Amino acid sequence: MARRGPQGGGAAKRERILRAAIRIFSQKGYFNSRISEIAREAGVADGTIYLYFKNKDDLLISLFEEKMGEVVADVRARVEAGGDALSRLKIFIENHMSLLIREAGLIEVIQVELRQSNKFMKEYIPVRFLEYLDVISGILEAGKREGIFRHDLNVTMARRAIFGALDEISLAYVLSRKRKYDPDAASAEIFRIFAEGLKREGGKE
C-alpha cells in the first residue's frame, strides 16, 4: 500500500491521525467533521495532516482501505480456522458482532460513510469491502459443495442478505446509546435464521 508522507517516525504520526479521524468521523460524520478537530484530536497541526494525506477525501478513503484491510485479513484467518461451512458462518457472524465492541468507531464510520462514498465518490471502488463480502461468498460456496446449503442458493443475494442483516443490527446497536442489545444474543439469532434459511431441505445434518 503506497503511503504518502514522511517515513520512519512518521508512521506513528500517520497512525495517530487515522485513529483521530476514526474517532471524529464516527462521532460527527464525515461532512460534519473538521480537519482542525481531527488535528487537535491527533495532537498535530492542521497542516501536518496534509503531509500524510492528499486531502480530506483521501483521509477517509485511506481509513477505509487500510483499516478494512486489517479487518478482512483478520476475519479470513479466523474463518479458515473453522471447520465446515456452518461453523465458519458462525465464526463470521460472531466476529462481525464482536467488531462492534473491539472497533466500534471504525465500524460506525464504515457503516455510515461507506454508503455516501459508494454513491458520491465516482471513481472510488471499495476494494476491501468487496473482499469482506467475498469471505461470505466463500463460505456459502463451500457450504453448497459440502451439501449443507441448497444447491440453488443464489450466493450473490444471500451474501448481501447476510451482510445487510449484520449491518443493520450493528447500526441499531451503535445507535442505541445505551447499547441495550446484547451482541451475543444478536449473533445467535442471526446465525440461527440463516443456518435454517440456507440449509438444504432434509440435508446432511
Partner DNA sequence: TATGAATGAGACTTCATTCAT
Partner DNA sequence: GATGAATGAAGTCTCATTCAT
Work out what residue 48 binds among a second copy, DNA, none; the CB cut-off runs from 5 to 8 Å by kind.
DNA
Interface with DNA: number of residues (CB under 7 A): 21
Q: Cell numbers of 198, please? A: 440456507
The Cα-based distances of 5 to 48, 70, 131, 172 in angstroms read: 10, 21, 27, 37
Query: Which among 156, 165, 160, 170 is positioned nearest to 192, based on CA atoms?
Result: 165
Whether residue 97 contacts residue 183, with contact meaning beta carbons closer than 8 Å, is answered with: yes
- Judged by CB under 7 A, the chain residues 17 through 76 that form the site for DNA are 33-36, 44-48, 50-51, 55-57
CA–chain centroid gap for 41, Å, is 23
Work out what residue 203 binds among a second copy, DNA, none; the CB cut-off runs from 5 to 8 Å by kind.
none
Interface contacts to DNA, rule CB under 7 A:
5-10, 13, 33-36, 44-48, 50-51, 55-57
Interface contacts to a second copy, rule CB under 8 A:
28-29, 31-32, 108, 111-112, 115-116, 118-120, 153-154, 156-158, 160-169, 171-172, 174-175, 181, 185-186, 189-190, 192-199
